[in-house]
Amino acid sequence: MTRRGFDLPETLPLFVLPGAVLMPRSRLPLNIFEPRYLQMVDDVLRTPHRLIGMIQPLDESGNTLAHVGSAGRIVGFSEQDDGRYLISLGQVSRFRLTGAEQGFAPYPQGFADWSDFAPDQDGAEQDPGWNRAGFLDLIRRYMEVHSLSTDWDAADGAEAELLINSLAMALPLEVQDKQALLEASTLPERRELLEGLLEYELRGGEHDEVMQ
């Protein structure tokens, strides 16, 4: 499968990180400091595709990986004085992980099946049923409970896909919730799932607004 002038590879390096997901047509900034991932960036920059597969571990040991990840191309790179790399990944496509191996590199390599996620390579999705005012009110209440802040002026003017995907990536949700959001097939499905997760917390989940 070809994307932006390069072929999507059958294998790609995996960045295993809980809570970090890369939604369709989104960007993810990363602060790279672990030696194995510094090596990964060095290696990836020498490839024609410059792809890294972001994937979540499903257990504390990191041995069990999610079945679906998301590949991002290094579109921004900066080397810091202390040896860290600051990179930005631009999402290319989600993938289904069919296997993984350690090999000779200090980081795992994943076998990727791209066939289920062709829409990731299309233009921005629309969400005709989205109620912007109601959605933003829900986000405000959730952020108040969690003592979080955001740029509300930017949120008020953001397109549906950008706002929904950005919040799905940034909000402090559980690993399994982030994974479910990543795997949602369409933008309306992702938005409905996100609304349900936030409403659950506000009505009696981990943070209860009524009972003190």
What pLDDT, in 10s, does the model give residues 33-51?
A: 999 999 999 999 999 999 9
User: How many Cβ atoms from other residues are within 10 Å of residue 149's Cβ?
Assistant: 8
Q: What pLDDT band is residue 207 in, cutting at 50, 70 and 90?
A: very low
User: At residue 212, does pLDDT exceed 60?
Assistant: no
pLDDT of 150: 84
Rounded Cα distance, 13 and 35, in Å:
14
Considering only the top CATH level, what class is 2-121? Answer: mainly beta
What pLDDT, in 10s, does the model give residues 147-164?
A: 998 888 888 889 999 999
What pLDDT, in 10s, does the model give residues 49-72?
A: 999 999 999 988 778 999 999 999
Rounded Cα distance, 209 and 142, in Å:
10
Average pLDDT taken over every residue of the chain = 91
What pLDDT, in 10s, does the model give residues 95-118?
A: 999 999 988 899 999 999 999 999
∠113-122-156 over CA atoms, to 5°? 120
Annotated domain spans of the chain: 2-121, 132-204
User: How many Cβ atoms from other residues are within 10 Å of residue 174's Cβ?
Assistant: 12
Task: Kindly state the tokens that stand for 152.
Answer: 């509300």
What are the residues whose beta carbons fall under 8 Å from the beta carbon of 105, sequence distance 6 or more? 13, 36, 39, 40, 43
pLDDT of 209: 42
pLDDT of 34: 96
Rounded Cα distance, 57 and 183, in Å:
15
Identity at 169, one-letter amino acid code? M
Phi and psi, residue 173, nearest 5°: -95, 165
**pTM of the predicted model as reported, rounded to 2 decimal places:** 0.90
Q: What pLDDT band is residue 206 in, cutting at 50, 70 and 90?
A: low
Q: What pLDDT band is residue 3 in, cutting at 50, 70 and 90?
A: low
